[in-house]
Amino acid sequence: MHTRIAIALLIAIFCICNGHKPVVLLHGIMTGNESLGLIKGRILEKHPGTVIYNLDRFAGWSSLDNLWFQVNELGKDVMDICKRHPEGVHLLGYSQGALISRVILQTFPQHNVINFISLSGPQAGQYGTSFLHIIFPGLALKGAFELFYSHVGQHTSVGNYWNDPFHQELYFSYSQFLPFVNNEIITNKSETFRVGLLKLNKMVLIGGPDDNVITPWQSSQFGYFGDNDSIVEMANRDIYTKDLIGLKSLDKKKKLDIITVPGINHFMWHLNISIVDNYILKYLN
Ligand SMILES: *[C@@H]1O[C@H](CO)[C@@H](O)[C@H](O)[C@H]1NC(C)=O
Ligand SMILES: *[C@@H]1O[C@H](CO)[C@@H](O)[C@H](O)[C@H]1NC(C)=O
Ligand SMILES: *[C@@H]1O[C@H](CO)[C@@H](O)[C@H](O)[C@H]1NC(C)=O
Ligand SMILES: *[C@@H]1O[C@H](CO)[C@@H](O)[C@H](O)[C@H]1NC(C)=O
């Protein structure tokens, strides 16, 4: 009898150790979970039996909803998944979904996400209209701040991470989202925002110079425009040097992986099998 229990236990432990952890996927702006079908299919092909939650809420137009609303709603769903899987899960977000995913980790520090993969997400903000023109065809880059840095503009997701290097004072006074989650404005939530990221085993930031949508592309790795339109890499920005959200601490512990892949357009990151094979699968163990 005891041997049987022991064998059952051994099998259970074996399965836990060998099974791949569940994976949560979050789509980008103006699409839904079908857009991540290729990534999901490839994970199942290479890691058969993986439980995958390909979140389908806030698809299409509702992806433009205010980001705090999306973070809170999707965050509850992700926490339900975490509770169902005490062994831990991995989280991958694409584009705007990568920013939402990161902020879910900060807002719900009780999460048990192990590895977080940000696939070309505007983590330090966005100042370029290439994808905006799908939604607002006539919008001029230089005038966009007037729309986004207003109470109405802050009702849209894009307004929440619009980071105009020429209107930083307006960014800091109007943006209700990005300067807070990046701890550029310190509040009584800032410490929690840090704790939620420091829990990770790995934060993986994937982006590249031929993205053509995330502008500057370095935003996918927490770099951004400096005062005069020059690019400041993550390692030279306050968010890293002052360890505002834990990036430097993660880096010192070798838990921050920065991956730059040239030749990939923004709308190809999630449709290119070799991206999944070369840069994503190894984190989904
Ligand atoms: C999208 O989500 C729905 C509802 O959860 C699910 O039935 C469907 O399989 C998902 N699509 C993909 C491609 O994962
Ligand atoms: C945090 O600050 C907000 C707004 O300033 C306030 O409403 C809230 O009560 C504070 N929470 C705590 C735990 O101090
Ligand atoms: C940016 O402006 C500062 C101060 O005006 C100047 O010292 C610096 O050289 C400029 N950087 C670039 C890349 O133009
Ligand atoms: C797919 O990704 C690889 C790099 O992993 C790149 O060399 C190739 O050009 C990409 N293909 C497309 C169609 O973007």
230 alpha carbon – ligand 3 mean position (Å): 8
**Ligand 4 atom at minimal distance to the Cα of residue 265:** 14
pLDDT tens per residue across span 105-120: 999 999 999 999 999 9
pLDDT tens per residue across span 222-274: 999 997 679 999 999 999 999 999 999 999 999 999 999 999 999 999 999 99
54 alpha carbon – ligand 1 mean position (Å): 6
197 alpha carbon – ligand 2 mean position (Å): 21
**Annotation says 95 is catalytic:** yes
User: CA dist 42 to 22, 37, 209, 258, 265, Å?
Assistant: 14, 9, 25, 22, 20
Atom 10 (ligand 3) nearest CA: 228
Q: How confident is the model at residue 14 (pLDDT cuts 50, 70, 90)?
A: very low
DSSP per residue, the chain: -HHHHHHHHHHHHHHHHHSPPPEEEE--TT--GGGGHHHHHHHHHHSTT--EEEE-SS-GGGGGS-HHHHHHHHHHHHHHHHHH-TT-EEEEEETHHHHHHHHHHHH-TT--EEEEEEES--TT-B---TTHHHH-TT--GGGHHHHHSSTTGGGSHHHHHB--TT-HHHHHHH-SSHHHHTTSS--TTHHHHHHHHHT-SEEEEEE-TT-SSSSSGGGGGT-EE-TTS-EE-GGGSHHHHTTSSSHHHHHHTT-EEEEE-TT--GGGGGG-HHHIIIIIGGG--
**Annotation says 211 is catalytic:** yes
Place of tokens 């994970």: 43
Q: What is the mean pLDDT of the chain?
A: 94
In whole angstroms, give the CA distance from residue 25 to residue 90: 9
231 alpha carbon – ligand 4 mean position (Å): 25
Question: Can you give the residue ranges of every domain in the chain?
Answer: 21-283
pLDDT tens per residue across span 173-201: 999 999 999 999 999 999 999 999 999 99
For the Cβ of 37 lying below 6 angstroms from any atom of ligand 1, the answer is: yes
Q: Which two tokens stand for residue 37?
A: 């079908």
Write down the pTM of the prediction.
0.92
Catalytic residue (choose from 20, 90, 167, 266):
266
Indicate the CATH number of 21-283 among 3.40.50.1820, 3.40.50.620, 1.10.3720.10, 3.30.70.20: 3.40.50.1820
Name the residue of 225, 227, 232, 236 whose CB sits within 8 Å of the most ligand 3 atoms, as the mutation to test its pocket: 227
**Annotation says 227 is catalytic:** no
The gap between the terminal CA atoms of the chain, to the nearest Å, is 34
Contact between 87 and 202 (Cβ < 8 Å): no
Catalytic residue (choose from 35, 63, 95, 101):
95
Cβ-based burial of 14 (10 A; exposed 0-12, middle 13-18, buried ≥19): exposed
